[in-house]
């Protein structure tokens, strides 16, 4: 009989067909033990040797149950960490899990997933919903070949460019365009690594998420963590706290601004007198170097703009800035860049196809929250973010290069112009790509392969 490879790990099946797996690293000193040792170290000068003896004699279980869970010493939970793997969940679920400023982990790239076989979630459960999903899949797959041919004509290989790298770059560009036709209900995989405290705090909110899929992920993740670390999870639930979190999560979690038309500076709350103390630091910062954390004391800047959901997924990775989770609707239309990137003979058919898909989604008669699963990731959403100068400068420099998706670069260039107007006189220097929109085959080298 084949050995059950999952046997030593905590696995919980999800209602959608995917699963949650809390990884057991099979170490003699697990996350709970690490947390106990560090906590003892903070309260005693006996040294690590004496703490290890206590651990060997008494174990970490009772310690964590008493001091972390029971007495509420939350900082002890910062000292133990765990990795969770989640598979078979929607793009929406991945973004919800990652909507936490201390999230660490990875998500599968749309470039490396075979969407000819990948499951698409159909929460409405109707045949009509299945037809919408399969319509997106069919179009996505059929667009690849003519688009690749078009891109090779548009961006011919240079004389000294490597054929293999060039081919990869062309395919990557094709995937970057056609991902816009994938529905947000397409499934993906992700890893999730945080300390015990952060898991407990985030799960406290996710179990009240507006989407049932994500509530299921939260509950199953907590169950798996309880199995792995029974004395570090299972915090007492307080009815008033649960009701409060449920109220704002299900009433105010998603952000919408149906009237947003263009890139907007929402506010500039940076204290110029205070910023003046950092003049030399702003002027002399070398390339590939971040501003110091202390500059955050000067205040924040906030922006709002339209960006397709596919590129929002990249923007959301920047957790040093504060972002609202946008509701994926069709209100702001399909980002025109994707349509303009298609061969002319395919463009008109695409516009007709999108219109037909929209009519079918409306006929489902479901809530806007559930419609998100059926909306393609090329639709624009209202992005609202705020950050201090350190965070904002890091964002615009990293996300305005030729190796970043063009629709995100477009908005970053607008933000750069705004920052120059606001802060150049204060000494701010930005280190930017001089050709941010140039096709560069080195994007074909951005891969992870086994040697």
Closest CA to 201 of 92, 78, 324: 78
Is CATH 3.30.1360.170 correct for 254-331+375-439? Answer: yes
At residue 347, the pLDDT reads: 93
Pairing of strands 254-255, 187-195: unpaired
At residue 359, the pLDDT reads: 98
| DSSP code for 69 | I
At residue 70, the pLDDT reads: 65
The length of the chain is: 451
* Same fold yes or no, 10-108+188-252 and 254-331+375-439: yes
CA–CA distance, 376 with 390 (Å, rounded to integer): 33
At residue 443, the pLDDT reads: 64
At residue 244, the pLDDT reads: 98
Residue 339 burial class via C-beta count within 10 angstroms: exposed 0-12, middle 13-18, buried 19 and up = middle
At residue 239, the pLDDT reads: 97
pLDDT digit string (tens) for the chain, length 451 residues: 345 767 778 889 999 999 897 867 666 667 877 777 777 777 766 676 776 777 777 777 776 777 666 656 778 777 788 889 999 999 999 999 999 999 999 999 888 788 988 999 999 999 999 999 999 999 999 999 999 999 999 999 888 888 888 898 899 899 999 999 999 999 999 999 999 999 999 999 999 999 999 999 999 999 999 998 887 888 889 999 999 999 999 999 999 999 999 999 999 999 999 999 999 999 999 999 999 999 999 999 999 999 999 999 999 999 999 999 999 999 999 999 999 999 999 999 999 999 999 999 999 999 999 999 999 999 999 999 999 999 999 999 999 998 899 999 999 999 999 999 999 999 999 999 888 877 777 765 555 444 4
* DSSP line for 328-384: --STT-B-HHHHHTS-HHHHHHHHHHHHHHHHHHHHT---HHHHTTTSBTTBEEEEE
The tokens describing 126, both together, are 């109707």
At residue 157, the pLDDT reads: 87
What is the domain class of 10-108+188-252 according to CATH? Answer: alpha beta
Closest CA to 196 of 85, 83, 59: 83
Token look-up 């004509």 returns 153
Residue 207 contacts by C-beta under 8 Å, 6 or more apart in sequence?
215, 218, 219, 222
Diameter of the chain by CA atoms? Answer: 76
CA–CA distance, 225 with 231 (Å, rounded to integer): 10
User: Domain-by-domain residue ranges, the chain?
Assistant: 10-108+188-252, 254-331+375-439
Inter-residue contact 361 to 80 (CB < 8 Å): no
Q: Quick one: CA dihedral 168, 187, 312, 396, positive or negative?
A: negative
CA–CA distance, 319 with 309 (Å, rounded to integer): 17
């Amino acid at each position: 009989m084949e050995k059950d490879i999952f046997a030593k790990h905590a696995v919980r099946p999800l209602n959608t067909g995917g699963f949650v797996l809390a990884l057991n690293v099979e170490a003699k000193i697990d996350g709970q033990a690490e947390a106990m040792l560090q906590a003892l170290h903070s309260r005693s000068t006996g040294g690590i040797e004496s703490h290890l003896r206590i651990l060997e004699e008494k174990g970490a279980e009772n310690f964590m149950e008493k001091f972390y869970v029971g007495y509420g010493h939350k900082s002890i939970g910062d000292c133990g960490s765990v990795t969770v793997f989640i598979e078979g969940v929607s793009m929406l679920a991945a973004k919800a899990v990652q909507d936490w400023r201390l999230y660490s982990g990875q998500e599968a790239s749309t470039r490396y997933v075979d969407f000819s076989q990948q499951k698409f979630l159909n929460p409405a459960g109707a045949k009509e919903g299945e037809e919408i999903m399969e319509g997106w899949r069919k179009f996505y797959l059929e667009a690849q070949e003519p688009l690749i041919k078009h891109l090779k004509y548009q961006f011919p290989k240079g004389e000294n460019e490597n054929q293999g790298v060039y081919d990869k770059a062309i395919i990557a560009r094709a995937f970057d365009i056609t991902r816009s036709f994938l529905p947000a209900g397409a499934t993906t995989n992700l890893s999730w690594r945080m300390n015990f405290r952060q898991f407990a705090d985030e799960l406290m909110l996710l179990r009240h998420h507006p989407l049932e899929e994500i509530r299921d992920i939260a509950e199953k993740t907590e169950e798996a963590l309880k199995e792995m670390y029974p004395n570090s999870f299972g915090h007492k639930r307080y009815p008033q706290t649960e009701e409060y979190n449920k109220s704002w999560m299900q009433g105010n979690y998603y952000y919408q601004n149906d009237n947003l038309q263009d890139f907007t500076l929402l506010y500039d709350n940076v204290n110029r007198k205070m910023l003046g103390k950092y003049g030399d630091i702003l002027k002399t910062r070398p390339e590939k170097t971040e501003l110091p954390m202390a500059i955050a004391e000067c205040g924040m800047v906030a922006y709002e703009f339209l960006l397709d959901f596919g590129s929002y997924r990249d923007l959301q990775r920047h957790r040093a800035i504060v972002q609202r989770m946008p509701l994926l609707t069709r209100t702001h239309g399909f980002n025109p860049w994707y349509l303009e990137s298609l061969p002319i003979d395919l463009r008109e058919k695409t516009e007709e196809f999108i219109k037909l898909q929209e009519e079918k989604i409306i006929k489902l008669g479901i809530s806007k929250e559930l419609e998100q699963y059926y909306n393609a990731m090329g639709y624009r959403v209202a992005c609202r973010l705020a950050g201090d100068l350190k965070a904002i400068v890091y964002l615009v420099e990293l996300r305005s290069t030729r190796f970043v998706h063009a629709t995100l670069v477009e908005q970053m260039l607008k933000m750069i112009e705004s920052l120059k107007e606001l802060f150049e006189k204060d000494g701010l220097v930005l280190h930017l790509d001089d050709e941010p929109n140039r096709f560069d085959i080195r994007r074909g080298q951005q891969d992870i392969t086994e040697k």
